[in-house]
Structure 1
């Protein structure tokens, strides 16, 4: 009886050990690939305020979402984002745009009170996802404001990038879409490089002190004198 029970115990121990190894298998973490942008050389280049950059709510999570054939989104079991995807997007956009504009004067919103931008980029990313059988898709809108705060350009765009299906390939494809976005954005910003200076408002002239209005004088009414005599009896 003991001989028959021993193989069963060994088999059960092996299965439990295998399950333990599977449960503790580390999940790969991914970051967007920012490429190798050149470091800007101009310290006095174009001043750009990047943001606010808004990212769709469904992307505000740790899981790497997978687009399914029916259009639904499912969290990947074997992949996670390493940190905040929104913060990762900000850094990729900032470094790529600074390199393409060759300017060190790029700041993420909100900026310091003393920073006066030549251009402000308002960017909204409504979609950035992919799936094993779906290409990476980026949908976004940008608006460009000039020095005086006037709207100079606005654009909606949709970009696609094919990949080979693995999570690593999907992340690489999404990174390439962000770099394509920056490439088009830099082209749209270039015409604003040589803006005329904003005319300063003249200082208001000092106003003369307002004199209080004088009330009209009302003549005093005195007692009326009469030349008639009063007779008493």
Structure 2
């Protein structure tokens, strides 16, 4: 068997080093954050945010973007820090707490006490960026009052432009869109 020339061995060594470097690149991990809000005056409210429904195409650790009308991109090295549905539920509860009267208690369905005045249910049909980067949040939400029989159901479509084209800016715009949704829900809770 013949040995490879030095130039071929050097090329093979460089190629192996490049592959090893790519495979050892750790993913960047992101989380949604509660958006600033103004506490409203009034009687404190107790509420729970039920488990959030997300579309199956978003139910993955990787961050999903649209690269066209029918094409999705999955960022292998940019991931969510927790399942998107759990994160939206937690952050929405935080956002509502910031917007409701002082003394209000908002919990997630995992910490239900059974004493809540109402429950917020949320089903997202979209929560991702368009090909141009604009974040689109499309949702249906329902308020179930313990004392009233008929729930209140509404839909929302919220768009936000990220400050730049980075994933961090997109995630911040998603957080802001969720905060705007919390503004709308809090308006109905008061």
TM-score band w.r.t. shorter chain: 0.7 to 0.9
Instruction: Label 1:154 to 1:24 Cα distance change in 2 as closer, same or farther (>3 A).
Output: same
Structure 2 residue aligned with 1:136: 135
Aligned residues of 2:36 and 2:98 also touching (Cα < 8 A): no
Q: Deviations over 1:170-199 (max 9, x none)?
A: 111111110110011111111xxxxxxxxx
Which stretches in structure 1 are left out of the alignment for 5+ residues?
191-233
In 2, are the aligned partners of 1:132 and 1:165 still within 8 Å (CA)?
Answer: no
Q: Which moved more, 1:91-100 or 1:114-123?
A: 114-123
Q: Using a 3 Å threshold, how does the CA distance of structure 1 residues 23 and 111 change in structure 2: closer, same or farther?
A: closer
Q: Post-superposition, which runs of at least 4 consecutive aligned residues in structure 1 deviate over 6 A?
A: none
Q: Does the Cα contact within 8 Å between 2:32 and 2:174 map onto a contact in 1?
A: yes
1:153-232 → structure 2 map (5 Å cutoff):
153-163=152-162, 164-190=164-190
Using the alignment, how far apart are the partners of 1:110 and 1:8 within structure 2? 59
Larger Rg: 1
Unaligned runs of 5+ in 2: none
Between the two proteins, the alignment pairs up a number of residues equal to 182
Q: TM-score normalized by structure 2?
A: 0.82
CA distance in 1, matches of 2:76, 2:20: 17
Compute the displacement of 1:154 (Å). 2.2
- TM-score, with length taken from structure 1: 0.68
Q: 2:92 and 2:182 mapped to 1: Cα distance?
A: 6
User: Could you tell me how far 1:152 is from its partner in structure 2?
Assistant: 5.3
Counterpart contact for 2:48–2:93, Cα < 8 Å: no
